[in-house]
Structure 1
Amino acid sequence: MLSDDVKVETVPVKVETVAVELETVPLKAPDGNILDRPQSIVWRMVQGTHFLLGSLCFIAGSCFYFADVINRYPSALTVGAWFFIVGSSFFLLSDIQDWWYYRIGCLFDWKYREEYEAYNADLFSHPRYKILGRLKRAEVGLNLLASVIGSTLYLVGSILFLPTLSNGLLAGEMCFIAGSAVTYLSQGWKIYRIACTSNVDRYDTRFRLNNLFHDIPAFALDTSSGLGAFFYFIGTIFFLPQFTKTDFGLDRAAGLFVCGGVCFTIAGLILQYRHYCTRHK
């Protein structure tokens, strides 16, 4: 109990409200390289699913080109062509998404250009305004642009496979052959870039076979995709009129198509593993 001579005073306390501004900070790559910025789970789901669906459609479409299937089912060629159209569309969507992510140094990269230049300034021996300088900066984007071109040729060729466009069948086969060649070269270029990338010294860009084993999933993915394109390249050549005069000729070409579809599907499965089971940049 307080005595009567003790005076208790209330000291006013001024409480100020401090406004805190929440700022959204974009994700940055751990090592500062803008090309290695993290990919969201949604990005990986969309890109990986499109590629895998495209691969499965290519297998399904290939099965409709065997002689026995064509002889039994009048609509086999139409169904097979539509499977290739859908599969090519999925491949194209996957490749466009991949290219857009790595377009930096190539096109539409104003948002990242300054950071990209600052991080890689000591790697570029030519200024941006020179042709060699532009090509060096756009190397990754151009590599993936080749994949986009290959998928586009696949799509055009698949449309021309439709029996209703019988006059365009030969042109469709030429597009498919060209698309396979471009895709094969694009995958080979990716493997070459892996072999020239050291995980120890970023300044070491010499071709070394042991660099291929620093990212085995990427190496296996590009190898499987390249083999898929190779099988479709050979298979489409064997689908030319001079090689399909017998059932054996049709079955040989269709068998090579199925092998190509299987390789693409293996690549699609490896892509899922790389997206979800490894540290992926």
Structure 2
Amino acid sequence: MSSSTEETRLIGYPGDNVLERPQSALWRLFHGTHYMIGGLTFVSGSCMYLPSVYNNYSSALSIGGWLFTIGSFFFLLADLQEWWYYRVGCCFDHKYRATMESQNAHRFQKSPDTFGGRYERAEVGLNFFTSACGSALYLAGSILFIPTFKNELVLGEWFFIIGSTFIYVSQGWKVYRSACTDPHNPQNHQFRLSNMLNDIPALGVDGFAGIGGFFYFIGTIFFLPALNTNDAEALRAAILFICGGTCFTLSGFFLQYRHHCTHHD
């Protein structure tokens, strides 16, 4: 998208708010498709780590590594697309800052000249950037899962463990922000569980993604050599992987519903 086209989308129409601008159908198609590919390849790749699979099929671990690599790449594409969309208030948005401030004077409680004010404006962008960091670490770890890099497998597992930490922290952060968002009073940031129910599909997207990250965090720890010494221990780790991939896929289904079956201005 060209800079002039984006600027038109951001500030070219009366009443448009740079923080609440609608996402185009094409934007939602690309984002949802990339995310869904990530979820499906992760659950498929996880199945390759079942002892009954890799003991009977010599190429299973190679296929698993490649499926994780492909899935991580598409997750990263989706996260970068989303971060770029929500970057206003965080970074690379100098030309939009004045418009954002004038349109959202009622939203922010602190001056943009203070640390708290800068964080208040950058929080959403930082949250989505954390997700992108998690996906980037997944991609680095997934590449090292490929048997060609078997000497670096443990490093790849640690990339995956750290990436999973970024993912479940980021998704938990999103759920927390939704609980602190009152659609009727933007200045009210009091934590209320009832606020989460204002967007059930979003809660499904973020909740299942966070749970998936947690499953991969625990599962990858169990895949470390010290805890993976026999088929029974490998099965335990693989089951956790499959649970994580299933949660990512369910998150993807909620995202499809949110993108294509709910109202968009």
Superposition deviation, residue 164 in structure 1: 1.5
* SS of 1:72 mapped into structure 2: coil
Structure with the higher fraction of residues in helix conformation: 2
- Amino acid of the residue matched to residue 134 of structure 2? G
**What is the count of residue pairs matched by the alignment?**
258
Instruction: State the distance in 1 between where 2:43 and 2:72 align.
Output: 12
Superposition deviation, residue 84 in structure 1: 0.3
Aligned to 2:20: 36
Aligned to 2:214: 230
- Amino acid of the residue matched to residue 33 of structure 1? N
What pairs up with 1:8-87 in 2 under 5 angstroms?
Answer: 26=9, 32-87=16-71
- Amino acid of the residue matched to residue 251 of structure 1? L
Unpaired segments ≥5 residues, structure 2 = 1-6
* SS of 1:128 mapped into structure 2: coil
Q: CA RMSD in A?
A: 1.8
Instruction: State the distance in 1 between where 2:48 and 2:135 align.
Output: 21
Superposition deviation, residue 73 in structure 1: 1.4
TM-score normalised to structure 1 length:
0.87
Contact 2:50-2:238 within 8 A present in 1 as well: yes
1:98 to 75, 82, 87: 82
* Identity of matched residues, %: 53
Aligned to 1:141: 125
CA 1:25/1:108 → structure 2, altered by over 3 Å: closer, same or farther? closer
Instruction: State the distance in 1 between where 2:90 and 2:206 align.
Output: 22
Superposition deviation, residue 71 in structure 1: 1.1
Larger Rg computed on CA atoms: 1
Contact 1:157-1:176 within 8 A present in 2 as well: yes
* Aligned: 1:253 with 2:253: no
CA 1:152/1:25 → structure 2, altered by over 3 Å: closer, same or farther? closer
Instruction: State the distance in 2 between where 1:84 and 1:252 align.
Output: 19
2:249 to 265, 277, 281: 265
CA 1:165/1:218 → structure 2, altered by over 3 Å: closer, same or farther? same
TM-score normalised to structure 2 length:
0.92
